[in-house]
A and B are shown apart, each in its own frame.
Chain A
């Protein structure tokens, strides 16, 4: 009624215009509602998923790596928290890269080129983190962390690094961990590795990588639009810590071995040597020292390129475990093979006398006795005891190269022992087939002579040598040497208990080995090894001197020395008729060139330390340097 109050419709108030305006309102709000429905209801799930995807990310939870203990439970390696600086190349703008890298380099006191090299060498994609520095001190880590916006793409992460309790003492055994390389990544990715992962690179760390590593967990992490992680939202799966290893190594024994070896090396001025101790009844390695060594903590902290280069360029190859990763001519220690073969093949028996002479002549070539005199008619005890070359030339001649090689393989030479360490080499056992294949001719008789005394083509690793004598000491079983006694799960339960691993039984009568043990004892009793016989413990063993390399101006060759010795179960009163030895030790003194047998002195000193023998039987005069080929 009040619409047309003034009797004439107000031109400013037309119902139709209001109606249309109202329709426009309905249309507009209707359109907005329809669009809202489309976004929130029709596609809501999809948008929610996008939202979740861009704001959260499933990240792996690192699993603590398993520890290692020695046989008595002494902790050898553990994990300590450390700051690592990482870069996600995708978040590092190209135009700011130089500036950011320069700043980071200044903060880390590193060379920018090194950081650039690391980024460019990134094994993963641009979205994967690259570790540019580890073991960064807390203050630097804080500075970098706080400089967040000035250092885009740079991330400070707390991660665990390995701390090796004894450093260089065990480096050759425990090895170290290092970053995944670009070549490894594709394969490792399938096994759940991350591009910035660390994995075992050497030693037991590498050998037991699967067991030590554990399994990553998964957690959902919130992130903001720059990709920075803001908080952990939930744990999808817990990380499973890696298993721990209990080694066969006895730290005390290892120390004794290292001390004995170091003493001799320092005395002589040698630069390379090995000592191994094991239990012949089980194949357990009690000590294994290879010098020179390195400090695996250097690797754990992230070794600098210069330090690494230095290690690589050292001619004595500190990164190499010379006990297993290099082979050498064994010298007279190899006479064990020749003697055992001769007896087992009945070419000789316990009482067969072989005439030893100043030299033998084969064709035009003279094969000298080492003392150029000989001992007249000699049985095995005399021949082995004095380490007569002419005795074993003749026995080798009777055996022939193929039978000699057969017995060498019986003792485990010519193939890796299978010890649980990576990179073991197999050595060389020459026979006709081998020589035909490699050099295109059969073995010449002279070469067989040489092979019979551990020269010529023979090449063995120190571990193979001690393992062969271990088979002698234990009555004929060749065990696979082992470094890990038990694998213990994260819950403390033993996952894999210790068991001896028999490679094979020697195809030889026990009597033959008993003769050889007595022959080894005669080495000591005949004073071939100087005053070993005077010690209050009973040792049987064999020394060896092996020439290698190229002759000097006077035609003399440098030489190394070996000694392998074992004691009966009761070291003071036992006898070698039995095969109950619990300890066998070998020493290898590379390029010793000493007056006496340096390796014998090392083993002697080891026994002194190990058995707590107060009296000092060491003969320093034996360690005087000479180039005179004095003693075998």
Chain B
């Protein structure tokens, strides 16, 4: 018996499979944890709206926009679950083209603060395609690595993966969005690791990356990026400049104590000391208002979610599923660690959102697509398959 390669389902398969079987394979826990995380994000959006002095239920507040995006994300999730993921393997190269196309489009017509080009505005909506590009990257890489089969020990596997990641990463760097490009790197490393490539070559690649750091520092990074990267190293933060936000977010986190000040009582956010509470620094508001206990519950939800993501990969008989799960897990873990670490001053300031919780439509919809594909993988690993 050889490995049974999953192929795109034929129409007759749908008839052969019972809905009950599919439902049994559907990972309800994954949805519950993700749902709770989204709910946490909405609660934070609500308290932010209150603290900014607006009525949370009015149109246009962080909260109502959050609700809208949560709805869109739910629909997207269902659609992605229903979609047979195996098509993605066939469509791998078009997906890659789509990814590059979206990033090029962003560079061409995107808006951003100052001279940057990070999101595309359509009517009242803005969408950050680099978020979606992460998921597309995972699809492309998963397909590439799954296709490498028994040649995983070869350097070409790693090089090929690196070559696939390089163009989108470069395009994101050009926006410039240092944070997202780092996530691309993290996805690559995580997926290579889980794919089982040889440790020797992984080690060599790590050494090469470390060797590249001084070069990148000198030629690739802009001054403000360097400043943001290093400001967390200062023990006495410069509270007037880029260190200000960091300092204020640490004060916010620190003043939360065991149980926090209670929702909508976040004084740091209320006094407007924390400049962008609703964006990447949302964790500081959560930590101030819900305290140590609340933050631990959030961590726990993330750990449980990661566990379910990894379980989905473990159960997948299809290497694509395993690798896709590895990509999602790497992305979520990396973003969690870098975002929360940044808020607490142990990681540099990079514009990396906290998955589910940070208020951003693109981030939420993209991860919904990712989880939907994961569920699609779950329910399509039934016994009937082989």
Interface residues of chain A, those whose CB is within 8 Å of chain B, are: 2, 5-8, 10-14, 17-18, 20-22, 24-25, 28-29, 31-33, 35-37, 39-41, 43-44, 46-48, 50-52, 54-55, 222-225, 230
Q: Are B257 and A44 in contact (CB under 8 A)?
A: yes
Complex contacts, B149 vs chain A, CB 8 Å: 11
B251 touches A21 (CB 8 A): no
* Chain A neighbourhood of B322, CB < 8 A: 10, 12-13
By the criterion CB–CB under 8 Å, are A224 and B196 in contact? Answer: no
A-B contact pairs, 16 of them (CB 8 A): A6-B1, A12-B152, A13-B196, A13-B313, A13-B322, A28-B333, A31-B346, A32-B336, A32-B344, A33-B296, A35-B344, A40-B257, A40-B292, A40-B295, A44-B256, A52-B255
Residue of B nearest to A49 (CB): B255
A223 contacts which chain B residues (CB < 8 A)?
271
Identify the closest chain B residue to A5 (Cβ).
Answer: B317
Interface flag for B214 (CB, 8 Å): no
Contact B299 A50 (CB under 8 A): no
**With A6-B1, A46-B254 given, is the CB distance from A17 to B193 under 8 Å?**
yes
B267 CB within 8 Å of chain A: yes
Known: A40-B292, A41-B292, A223-B271. A47 touches B314 (CB 8 A): no
**Interfacial chain A residues near B195, Cβ < 8 Å:** 11-12
Contact A6 B4, CB 8 Å, known A44-B255, A47-B254: yes
Contact, CB under 8 Å: A39 / B344: yes
Give every chain B residue within 8 A of A24 (Cβ-Cβ).
333
* CB atoms of B292 and A17 under 8 A apart: no
Q: In whole Å, how far is B342's beta carbon from the nearest beta carbon of chain A?
A: 11
Contact indicator B2/A6 (Cβ below 8 Å): yes
Residues on A with beta carbons closer than 8 Å to the beta carbon of B344: 32, 35-36, 39
A32-B341 in contact given A10-B319, A21-B329, A40-B291 (Cβ < 8 Å): yes
Q: How far is the CA of A24 from the CA of B271 in the complex (A)?
A: 37
Q: Are A224 and B271 in contact (CB under 8 A)?
A: yes
Which of chain B's residues has its CB closest to A226's CB?
B272
Shortest distance between the CB of A108 and any CB in chain B (Å): 29
Task: State whether B150 touches A36 (Cβ < 8 A).
Answer: no
Residue B310 CB within 8 A of the other chain: yes
Chain B: interface residue total (CB-CB under 8 A): 55
Q: What's the Cα separation between A18 and B196 when bound, in Å?
A: 10
Contact B268 A51 (CB under 8 A): yes
At the interface, is chain A mostly helix, strand, loop or mixed? Answer: helix
Max chain A CB contacts within 10 Å: which of B196, B313, B317, B326?
Answer: B196
Query: Is B229 close to A, CB under 8 A?
Result: no
Given known pairs A11-B152, A55-B273, A224-B271, the reply for A17 and B255 (CB within 8 Å) is no
A1 to chain B, nearest CB (A): 12
With A and B bound together, what is the CA distance between A12 and B194 in angstroms? 7
Measured CA separation A6–B345 after assembly (Å): 47
Assess whether B45 is interfacial by the CB under 8 Å rule. no
Q: Please, which residues of chain B bring their CB within 8 A of the CB of A230?
A: 271
- Contact across chains for A37 and B255 when beta carbons are under 8 A apart: no
**What's the minimum C-beta distance from B164 to chain A, rounded to whole angstroms?**
17
A43, B319: Cβ atoms closer than 8 Å: no
- In the assembled complex, the Cα of A225 lies from the Cα of B239 at a distance in Å of 12
Query: With A12-B194, A40-B287, A40-B292 known to touch, is A50 a contact of B255 (CB < 8 Å)?
Result: yes
B194 A7 Cβ-Cβ under 8 A: no
Q: Which residues 294-328 of B have a CB within 8 angstroms of A?
A: 295-296, 299, 302-303, 306, 310, 313-315, 317, 319, 322-323, 326
Distance between Cα atoms of A61 and B267 in the complex (Å)? 24
20 further contact pairs, Cβ within 8 A, besides A10-B319, A36-B344, A44-B258 = A2-B315, A10-B322, A11-B195, A12-B145, A12-B196, A13-B313, A13-B314, A21-B326, A29-B303, A29-B336, A32-B344, A36-B292, A40-B254, A40-B292, A44-B255, A51-B254, A52-B267, A224-B273, A225-B272, A225-B273
Within 8 A of A (CB), among B28-56: none
A55 and B314 contact, Cβ closer than 8 Å, known pairs A11-B196, A17-B193, A36-B344? no
**Taking the complex as formed, is B337 at the interface, i.e. its CB lies under 8 A from any CB of chain A?**
yes
Beta-carbon contact of B193 and A12 below 8 Å: no
Q: Give the most central of B255, B323, B337: most A CB within 10 Å.
A: B255
User: Do B299 and A32 touch across chains, with their CB atoms under 8 A apart?
Assistant: yes
Given contacts A13-B322, A32-B340, A225-B273, contact A21 B258 (CB under 8 A): no
Q: Which residues of B contact A (CB under 8 A)?
A: 1-4, 145-146, 149-150, 152, 190, 193-196, 250-258, 267-268, 271-273, 287, 291-292, 295-296, 299, 302-303, 306, 310, 313-315, 317, 319, 322-323, 326, 329, 333, 336-337, 340-341, 344-346
Which of the residues B150, B194, B296, B346 comes within 8 Å of A21, measured between beta carbons?
Answer: B194
A10 touches B3 (CB 8 A): yes
> A2: which B residues are within 8 A, CB to CB?
315
Task: List, in ascending order, chain A residues with CB within 8 A of B346's CB.
Answer: 31, 35
Indicate if the CB atoms of A51 and B251 lie closer than 8 Å: yes
When chains A and B are docked, how far (Å) is the Cα of A32 from the Cα of B253? Answer: 12
B149 CB → nearest A CB, Å: 8
Distance in angstroms between the alpha carbons of A50 and B252 in the assembled complex: 10
CA–CA, A10 and B250, complex, Å: 45
Contact of B146 among A12, A32, A47, A51 (CB under 8 A): A12
Q: Is the CB of A40 within 8 A of B253?
A: yes
Whose C-beta in chain B lies nearest to the C-beta of A55? B271
CA distance A25 to B256 in the complex (A): 25
- Chain B residues, CB < 8 A from A55: 267-268, 271, 273
Q: Which 7 A-B pairs have the closest CB atoms?
A: A47-B254, A12-B319, A48-B255, A51-B255, A28-B337, A39-B254, A55-B271
B145 contacts across to A, CB distance below 8 A: 12
A50 to B254, CA, bound (A): 9
A8 to B235, CA, bound (A): 53
Assess whether B323 is in contact with A12, with CB atoms less than 8 Å apart: yes
A24–B255 alpha-carbon span in the complex (Å) = 29
| A48 shortest CB reach to chain B, Å | 4
Bound-complex Cα distance A37 to B340 (A)? 13
**How many Å lie between the Cα of A14 and that of B317 in the bound state?**
13
Counting chain B CB atoms within 10 Å of each CB, the highest count among A12, A21, A41 belongs to: A12
Q: Is the CB of B341 within 8 A of A17?
A: no
Complex CA distance for A29 and B258, rounded to whole angstroms? 18
B102 CB to nearest A CB, Å: 28
Q: Quick check: B250 and A47 within 8 Å, CB to CB? A: yes
CA distance A211 to B257 in the complex (A): 47
CB-CB under 8 A from B314, the residues of chain A are 13, 18
* A37 to chain B: closest residue by CB: B292
B10–chain A nearest beta-carbon distance, Å: 22
What distance in Å separates the Cβ of B331 from its nearest Cβ neighbour in chain A? 13
- B155 nearest CB across to chain A (Å): 16
Q: How far is the CB of A521 from chain B (nearest CB, A)?
A: 79
Q: How far is the CB of A149 from chain B (nearest CB, A)?
A: 13
In angstroms, Cα B271 to Cα A13, docked, is 51
Partner pick for A41 among B1, B257, B299, B340, CB 8 A cutoff: B257
Contacts of A35 in B (CB 8 A): 341, 344-346
Min C-beta distance of A354 to chain B, whole Å: 89
CB distance from B51 to the nearest CB of A (A): 12
Q: Which residues of A lie under 8 Å from residue B340 when comparing CB positions?
A: 32
Question: Closest approach, in angstroms, between the C-beta of A58 and any C-beta of chain B?
Answer: 16
Q: How far is the CA of A51 from the CA of B250 in the complex (A)?
A: 10
What residues on B are CB-neighbors of A46 within 8 Å?
254
B337 partner residues in chain A, CB cutoff 8 A: 28-29, 31-32
- How far, in angstroms, from A31 to B306 measured CA to CA in the complex? 17
Shortest C-beta distance, A436 to chain B (Å), equals 70
Give Cα A21–Cα B325 distance, bound, in whole angstroms: 12
Given contacts A6-B2, A47-B253, contact A11 B150 (CB under 8 A): yes
